[in-house]
Structure 1
Amino acid sequence: MGRTIKIGIIGSGGIAGVHARTYKDIEDVEIVGVADIFPGRADHFIENWGLQQAVGFDDHRKLLELDLDGVSICTPNAAHYKTTLDALHAGKHVMVEKPMSVTLEEAVGMVQASKEADKMLNIGFQPRYDPNMGLIKELVQSGQLGKVYYVETGGGRRRGMPGGTFIRQEISGAGAMADIGCYSLDFALNTLGYPKPLTVSAYTSNHFGTNPKYHPEADRFDVEDFGVAMIRFENDIVLNFKTSWAMHMDSLGATMFLGTDAGLKVLPKSQGPWGGVWDGHVGAVSLFHDIQRHHTESVIPLIEHEIDVFAEKIRDFVRALREGGPAPIPGEQIVRNQAILDGILRSSQTGREVVIDIPDF
């Protein structure tokens, strides 16, 4: 028996249930408190999940006064920054759901706070825990593709627009980019070793979300439901990125890594109106290369598994808490993901390419 890891949860919406369920399943982990700004909601969450030992709060700062090893931040996007800073300043390790923040400035502030507090800042990108994501990264990092110069990624749902807090800019900060686009970015950037982005040229729109024919909350919809961007990175790499919540098309295509010696094509596993995005598992992987000057396509066998990637990201956070870190998916890495999202919105608003400036940590 190890020492008991004490956890607090801030925000009791849908994703918080995944955190609660997983923490309950891990030996020697105890959820001691839950906070939600809506009166009574934290207590309802505690009762619903059978957390008899936990205390409910309407103010997350009161929760942070408890003896906690770490906190899961499951609030709407706009609250990530403030709650993360409060938790770090209170001396708690942090697991914050994606996207990391709303702006690049917020993301930088979160990383700086984690450094100053000497506390872990972990970002919740569960697709990384599909072992096939690791397989793809290993293939690209092995050098088999030669020099990777072009990457194309992104996902598109034919119909898959959420509602509620997801479609209001003051709460979510952004729409499809923040909701599902960040997954595609993390897939591509993590595979490449998270190169530093330099510039972004982007376009976004919300033709579907603002049309009552397609969305029941069209009058409240003020975020983007589609976006496309060309991103330049250090080491002479470019990324063609596209994401859509809704469109008159079945797919936005495969993820591709083009190299001087070979190319890699990756298909998402999920299909249907809500499928086609990188928040799930890998569907198929093919390597395109030449053998004796013959064009050859080699199908890469996938790793069969039954891993619950949502649960595994939380288990990994607990392992880091127990072993003293480092963060499995560190904030100083994901700040580059957030920088691109920030750049996409700035570029789309100005109609021109923007420069990305990220400080060194």
Structure 2
Amino acid sequence: MSQKVKIGIIGTGGIARAHVSAYRKLPFVEIVAVADVIPGKARQFTELEGLKDTAAYDSHTELLAQDLDGVSICTPNVSHHRTAVDSLRAGKQVLLEKPMSVTLAEALEMAQTARETGRMLTLGFQPRYDPNMKLLQDIVQSGRLGKVYYVETGGGRRRGMPGGTFISKKLAGAGAMADIGCYSLDMALNTMGYPRPVSVSAFTSNHFGTNPVYHPEAAKFEVEDFGVAMVRFENDLVLQFKISWAMHMDTLGATMFLGTDAGLKVTPAGSGPWSGVWDGAVGAMTMFHDDFGGHTSTNVPLIGHSLNLFDEKVRDFAEAVRDGRPAPIPGEQILIQQAIIDGVLRSAEARREVSVELPN
């Protein structure tokens, strides 16, 4: 590998600007190329971002033909599958923005391609870089809660519905489930070591998104703005998953882990109508347990830090490329949550419990 890690960015929407900002803070990284399917948009992006020495292309295939070590994929959901598979087959290491894909079949092919090519496919879940997420995982996996038998996670915005590609079933695949629900699932599943799901029973609706009183693109709104599901896992664990882009309520409650010896309540950081979901940091953690013959609770001291979690995500990927390390957040892991989201959508449509089957 050359002295500097050569990076390409595919897709030039708002999230791509955050990738540029993060890469610029890494002296060992060079942004070599940018691509976007809209003619001229990549060149416009390089000019706006001051990337005067960066090549611009109107297709990801042109970009992938260049001498690059890795790529950031910042395209709409519908493009994740094809762009990631092509990037892996072109020998590039891949940082893919969430969600992994539109369908489970696509996610399976992406994970399989990463295995076959020996290239890295890592997913962009920056909340994992909050040191308190690691603290949470350490507490649960230490056994202090005893056997964890029930987990409840999710979150809701009183008003927080996006538009454009996010509300098209063809382009996004799913709505709130994939957009913000994937963060909640990763937070809970990673804490539990990503157990394998066996069935899902779910309900979804879009009462707010399809109502012009609440959304300016109501006539084009095709995905769910609310969903709830009960997920069963192989190890006698159940998870209640709930998510909402809009609701007449201030919160859908905290995340909780119920164990035979103790319980743990975790709340997200942030405030305001767009907060209340697990796309950021930990706000507070409380353990509930019995001691001295009575009920008691302990506030878990949080780890203070000033980390920019998004920057940490990009840095970890770039360093993994430079050092030859495995994927920080491997696609094979996120495949499990993709299977859950797929199960949620199938169950909601069928109005019954459905099985979740994953290859070994």
TM-score range, shorter chain: over 0.9
Pairwise CA distance, 1:292: 2.0
**Secondary structure in 2 matching 1:272:** coil
Residue 303 of structure 1 aligns to which amino acid in structure 2?
I
**What is residue 275 of structure 2 aligned with on the other side?**
275
Pairwise CA distance, 1:111: 0.6
**Secondary structure in 2 matching 1:122:** strand
**Secondary structure in 2 matching 1:154:** strand
**What is residue 87 of structure 2 aligned with on the other side?**
87
Cα shift readout 1:33-80 (whole Å, capped 9, x = no counterpart): 111000111011111111112111111000000001000000000100
**Secondary structure in 2 matching 1:155:** strand
In 1, distance between residues paired with 2:284 and 2:90?
A: 45
Do structure 1's residue 232 and structure 2's residue 232 form an aligned pair?
yes
- Structure 1 segments (4+ residues) deviating >6 Å: none
**What is residue 42 of structure 1 aligned with on the other side?**
42
**What is residue 222 of structure 1 aligned with on the other side?**
222
In 2, distance between residues paired with 1:293 and 1:340?
A: 40
**What is residue 171 of structure 1 aligned with on the other side?**
171
TM-score by length of 1: 0.98
- Counterparts in 2 of 1:73-152, with a 5 A limit? 73-152=73-152
Do structure 1's residue 9 and structure 2's residue 9 form an aligned pair?
yes
In 2, distance between residues paired with 1:149 and 1:53?
A: 54
Cα shift readout 1:215-248 (whole Å, capped 9, x = no counterpart): 0110111110000000001110000000000000
Pairwise CA distance, 1:171: 1.0
**What is residue 154 of structure 1 aligned with on the other side?**
154
**Secondary structure in 1 matching 2:298:** strand
- Counterparts in 2 of 1:198-347, with a 5 A limit? 198-347=198-347
In 1, distance between residues paired with 2:131 and 2:53?
A: 35
RMSD: 0.8
Pairwise CA distance, 1:3: 1.4
In 1, distance between residues paired with 2:248 and 2:55?
A: 48
Q: Count matched residues.
A: 359
Residue 245 of structure 1 aligns to which amino acid in structure 2?
W
Structure 2 gap segments, 5+ residues each: none
Do structure 1's residue 191 and structure 2's residue 186 form an aligned pair?
no
**Secondary structure in 1 matching 2:194:** coil
Cα shift readout 1:145-190 (whole Å, capped 9, x = no counterpart): 0000000000100000011111111111111001000000000000
In 2, distance between residues paired with 1:344 and 1:311?
A: 31
**What is residue 62 of structure 1 aligned with on the other side?**
62
In 1, distance between residues paired with 2:95 and 2:8?
A: 10
Do structure 1's residue 71 and structure 2's residue 84 form an aligned pair?
no
TM-score by length of 2: 0.99
In 2, distance between residues paired with 1:193 and 1:340?
A: 15
Pairwise CA distance, 1:277: 0.4
Pairwise CA distance, 1:281: 1.1
Structure 1 gap segments, 5+ residues each: none
Residue 263 of structure 2 aligns to which amino acid in structure 1?
G
In 1, distance between residues paired with 2:87 and 2:339?
A: 23
Residue 194 of structure 2 aligns to which amino acid in structure 1?
Y
**What is residue 180 of structure 1 aligned with on the other side?**
180
In 1, distance between residues paired with 2:173 and 2:270?
A: 26
Residue 216 of structure 1 aligns to which amino acid in structure 2?
P
Cα shift readout 1:5-32 (whole Å, capped 9, x = no counterpart): 0000100001011111111110121111
**Fraction of identical pairs, as percent:** 65
In 2, distance between residues paired with 1:229 and 1:251?
A: 17
In 2, distance between residues paired with 1:18 and 1:36?
A: 16
Cα shift readout 1:103-153 (whole Å, capped 9, x = no counterpart): 111111001001111100000000000111111111001000000000000
